[in-house]
Structure 1
Amino acid sequence: MKVLFFITGIGYGDIIRQHAIIKQLNAKIKIATYHKGYEYFKNKYPTTKIHSYKFPDKSFKLKPFLFFIDNLFSLPLQFIDLIRLYFISKKFNPDVIVSDLEPLAIPISRLLKKKLITIFGTQPSILKEVKPKSIFLKLQKLYLQKLYSYGQLVIPSLTGSSKNSINPIVRESKGKLNLKKKPILIMLGGSQFGITVADELIKILPSIDEDFIIFGYKKDFKEKNIKCYKFKENFLDYLKASKAVITLAGHSTLSELVVYKKPSLIFPIQNHLEQQINGYVMQKNGLGMVKNLKEIDSEILKKYILEFLKKENKFEENLKKLNITGDGAKKAAEIIQS
């Protein structure tokens, strides 16, 4: 069997989720991705570098004007990619195409007349519940609803499998760390948004009586009660040994938190519909504390962390009540190979 994957390459969340599925497949794999996705996969599988939408803004709020302007100039490059990928994909001749809503997957699957499977974390029913206020968020909702109409949809749910969803897709971990003190992990996904948050957090974390480990930062370093890593393959070993997590609202990270029952302080990116929906699901089910930051300020972040530390036991109790496992990757692979 041959499977062609289109993978979003902005942060590590989608990258790691799709890799967990790939590991479960008995198939020949080819990947089309960009940015961090290309760097991650290029030495693991045959990988084609493509262009896609960009997030140029360094603030915590995705600004529509900057987003549209920056991506306007990438459209000709994406058109060239489409032509190039058509010939590459035709030669590879996949049995199925798998995407995480990367747009180029749709025309390629149609041109080749191949089955398309879309794996994405937002359930259509939850999407209907959310009522965006801004025009930009409304456009994102329409965009998602349109993409949902193409191919077969597979939803890894943050609250467990059901008739219309599977359990979360998480990486496997058999390692164990023996740490003197359980740390609080700060998982930022490697995006520019997350790095901006980390820069502010580093200013105030030494004043809090906890050990902190930051993943997805721009460089590795250690200072007082803080350790920073750009990336670690054994992140899950650290997660299992942690007491709690501070994170953005990426679906893959939240999936690992609910599977391993870790309380979390969540900062969804503003004007980013997927993150807003993920935060909504976590808050609705009492699985974490969600705070929407209008600006990134170190003292505000400190205030929220101290508030969270007083409530973490409540979130842990709710997480333990969830009937959920991390077998979503295995189930997704079965669907792809069926």
Structure 2
Amino acid sequence: MKIAYGIAGEGRGHATRAEAVIDHLLQHHKVSIFAGDRAALYFKSKKYQVIPLSCLRIAYQNNSVSGFGTLLFNILRTPLYLYDFAKLVIILLRLKPDILITDFNFLCSYAALLLGIPLITLDNQHVITKTKYALEKKWFFEQWKSKIVIHFVVPKAKKYLITTFFHVKKKSKNIVTLPPLIRKEVRALQPKKGNHVFVYQTSQTNMQLLKDLKSLKLPCVIYGFDKQRKEGSLHFKKSQDTYFEDLASAKAVILNGSFTTMTEAIFLKKPIFSIPVQHQFEQIFNGIHLQKLGLGMMQNISSQKALKYFLSHLSFYEKNLKKMNIPYTSAFPLIDQELKKWQK
């Protein structure tokens, strides 16, 4: 089967999830990779053949999504989007793929719909729009905004494959829920409990967190700030060479609400302190369910008090993590089962 695979380029999560799927698909199918911005750079660094595309980007300020900044930034990039869309359509007409899988890549979604290529989504974002769940009223506006964005990025698909680490009720028959897709490097790790905390940030704007970590003199290995140096107990790393080793040997993980990093930490049984990027409902949603399951703690903003509480309750979170029984190995058979329905 000829498969076109489109990947969003905001953050690393889409790329690392897609990598796990693509490695599996390449065993039996021909896969053409279309990746946006950071995802394209990620796949190129791993020596994959990839066709780069521009993609929607998010503007951040003080660990919060800037609505105006995001809108303005993407409006200014519209000519680039139009050029890349035309390029994509021409390439797809030449490739004639049997299906197109999109991990939240909006250009690929619209190209598939325009050309009549069967479109399948494989992401975690659609858990927000395609499943039923309880939610506190205070989050309704953020949820509404998120739904608008999701519908814009993927107006319609034939099938929705949704990765999730918590139980959800599906709204329709064209929805398949999958356990988190864990990349092979993480699956191969032997986790142990060291002395440091692993910190990963989606944006580089959470200065309050850094102040709190410094004040607590907490040994931390920090990724996501694009710098390589030590500042007291904080060790900032730019290179990814020891990323997996640092994650596997951490006593706990501090992150925003990135689905991929969160589920990799859950896989390794690491307690999680989540500070979602404000106004990014997907991250908030992940943090809410993380806390509901007792796997960690979610806070809207960083504080020394909350961090101290979290660190003093690691054994509680570790017990709940040990109880988690996620059928990780069932993900790829479920994907194969769905793809068989589209084979000619």
TM-score, L = length of structure 1: 0.85
Work out the CA distance in 1 between the residues paired with 2:147 and 2:133.
Answer: 7
SS in 2 for 1:158: coil
Deviations 1:129-186 (A, max 9, x none): 465657565232234356374221111111379984121111123245888x432111
1:223/1:68 CA distance change after superposition, 3 Å: closer
8 Å CA contact 2:132, 2:169 repeated in 1 = no
2:273 to 265, 268, 276: 265
Work out the CA distance in 2 between the residues paired with 1:307 and 1:135.
Answer: 30
1:324/1:148 CA distance change after superposition, 3 Å: farther
1:254/1:177 CA distance change after superposition, 3 Å: closer
8 Å CA contact 2:10, 2:56 repeated in 1 = no
Deviations 1:182-220 (A, max 9, x none): 3211122xx4x2x222x5444443443542111222122
1:158 to 151, 155, 165: 165
1:225/1:264 CA distance change after superposition, 3 Å: same
1:212/1:326 CA distance change after superposition, 3 Å: farther
8 Å CA contact 1:176, 1:237 repeated in 2 = no
8 Å CA contact 2:142, 2:281 repeated in 1 = no
8 Å CA contact 1:158, 1:168 repeated in 2 = yes
Work out the CA distance in 2 between the residues paired with 1:331 and 1:274.
Answer: 26
Q: When you count strand as a share of all residues, which structure comes out higher? A: 2
Structure 2 unmatched runs, 5+: 171-175
Quick one: which amino acid aligns to residue 253 of structure 2?
A: V
Quick one: which amino acid aligns to residue 179 of structure 2?
A: N
Partner of 2:324: 322
1:196 to 205, 210, 220: 205
8 Å CA contact 1:132, 1:138 repeated in 2 = no
8 Å CA contact 1:4, 1:29 repeated in 2 = yes
Partner of 1:309: 311
Partner of 1:288: 296
Partner of 2:104: 101
Instruction: Find out whether 1:85 has 2:79 as its counterpart.
Output: no
Shift of 1:263: 0.7
Work out the CA distance in 1 between the residues paired with 2:138 and 2:162.
Answer: 21
1:305/1:185 CA distance change after superposition, 3 Å: same
1:61/1:203 CA distance change after superposition, 3 Å: closer
Alignment of 1:141-180 (within 5 A): 141-144=147-150, 147=154, 149-159=156-166, 164-173=176-185, 174-176=188-190
8 Å CA contact 2:131, 2:168 repeated in 1 = no
RMSD of the TM alignment (CA)?
Answer: 2.8
Same amino acid, percent of matched pairs: 26
1:240 to 235, 248, 257: 248
Partner of 2:30: 28
Quick one: which amino acid aligns to residue 205 of structure 2?
A: T
SS in 1 for 2:57: coil
1:261/1:139 CA distance change after superposition, 3 Å: same
Shift of 1:326: 3.1
Quick one: which amino acid aligns to residue 6 of structure 2?
A: F
8 Å CA contact 1:264, 1:312 repeated in 2 = no
Q: What count of residue pairs does the alignment treat as equivalent?
A: 326
8 Å CA contact 2:3, 2:98 repeated in 1 = yes
2:50 to 27, 33, 47: 47
Question: Greater relative contact order (Cα 8 A, min sep 6): structure 1 or 2?
Answer: 1
Q: Which moved more, 1:98-107 or 1:162-171?
A: 162-171
Shift of 1:31: 1.9
8 Å CA contact 1:156, 1:328 repeated in 2 = no
Quick one: which amino acid aligns to residue 66 of structure 1?
A: G
Quick one: which amino acid aligns to residue 139 of structure 1?
A: K
Work out the CA distance in 1 between the residues paired with 2:19 and 2:191.
Answer: 23
Instruction: Find out whether 1:218 has 2:226 as its counterpart.
Output: yes
8 Å CA contact 1:286, 1:315 repeated in 2 = yes
8 Å CA contact 1:85, 1:108 repeated in 2 = yes
SS in 1 for 2:226: coil
1:91/1:132 CA distance change after superposition, 3 Å: farther
Quick one: which amino acid aligns to residue 284 of structure 2?
A: Q
Work out the CA distance in 2 between the residues paired with 1:196 and 1:233.
Answer: 24
Partner of 1:297: none
Structure 1 unmatched runs, 5+: 294-299
